[in-house]
Amino acid sequence: MKNVYMIGIGLIGGSFAIDIKAHYPDTVIHGISRKETTLDKALELHLIDKKAKLEDIKNADLVIVSIPVDATVKLLPTILDYIADNTLVIDAGSTKKAICEVVEHHAKRRNFLACHPIAGTENSGPTAAIAGLYKGKTNIICEVEKTTFKLQEKALDLFRAIGMRIRYMDAVSHDKHIAYVSHLSHISSFMLGKTVIEKEKNERDIFDMAGSGFASTVRLAKSSPAMWTPIFKQNKENVIETLEEYIHNLQQFKELMQQDNFESIYNEMESTNHIKQILNGIK
């Protein structure tokens, strides 16, 4: 794996670049971005070795696409047009159905592996990239049977080297499940932040009272709207379904409060405490 091309060099792409360099020191990392300032910063931080243009990927052994999912849908067919027959292309998008559908009938569909590494922070851009981001994290691979076996093995060798766990899933199931465990939590965080900010306009002391619970719950509200709006758009139906269930539970909690039914509130919370065992089991 001599020549790796990163299309997008923020948290996800930059962290991949760091880990690839650590495990494959002879690899040359090429960076591609719409913004020259992003490439300059990536060079300064030694995330990439060289700047590149999209047409340069004809020389790639591996192309990693880590840009917003709407941009991936638009650009992925062109990427496959440019690559050589033995090039592997992987993406890191948080939705999979639309991405898989757009290249379903492409002549080089076999060169593409649809991935979603379940890793990240609320930060973005090249400065957010960190070493070891993917160690111990799950990587969802969709439609693996549509990627040629030799290129599957190349991808799996990389994922194992940087410490990732692999899970296989169809794209439709992926988008449905991820709406619950990722997309809903981001919406909740954004809306909690919005609620508190609006209240703070009239009550200036509110942030002085904010503790670690508030900080951890609202952390995801610092995430990039440029990344998350396309995710919500592509996964609209599943996100709406999760929101309806979430709103129902909130409304039910409110009704219990209004009824002074704190025994039921206690029971609801105690039942939900079971999530501690579930989360401990997946660490």
Question: For residue 147, what are the contacts with CB-CB under 8 A and spacing of at least 6?
Answer: 110, 111, 112, 113, 155
Q: What pLDDT does residue 223 have?
A: 87
Evaluate whether 242 touches 183 at the Cβ level (below 8 Å).
yes
Give me the residues paired with residue 142 across strands: 114, 169
In the block, tokens 């990392």 appear at 29
Within this chain, do residues 126 and 197 fall inside the same structural domain, yes or no? no
Average pLDDT over residues 178-183: 93
- Same structural domain, 166 and 268: no
Q: State what percent of residues in the chain have pLDDT above 70.
A: 93
Of 61-65, 196-200, 260-264, give the lowest mean pLDDT range.
196-200
**Which CATH number covers residue 99?**
3.40.50.720
Residue 46: both structure tokens together: 């030694």
Residue 125: band (very low, low, confident or very high) from pLDDT cuts 50, 70, 90: very high
The per-residue pLDDT for 215 is 75
- Write down which residue in 122, 148, 171 finishes a domain: 171
pLDDT in tens, 200-251: 766 666 666 666 777 787 888 888 899 999 999 999 999 999 999 999 999 9
- Residue 153 vs residues 57, 58, 105, 147, 148: alpha-carbon distances, Å: 20, 21, 22, 10, 9
- pLDDT one-digit tens code per residue, 157-177: 999 999 999 999 999 999 999
Model pTM score:
0.87
**Domain match, 102 and 128 both:** yes
Domain range holding 241? 174-282
Task: Say which CATH number the domain at 218 has.
Answer: 1.10.3660.10
* pLDDT tens string 45-68: 999 999 999 999 999 999 999 999
Res. 282: pLDDT tops 70: no
Mean pLDDT of the chain: 92
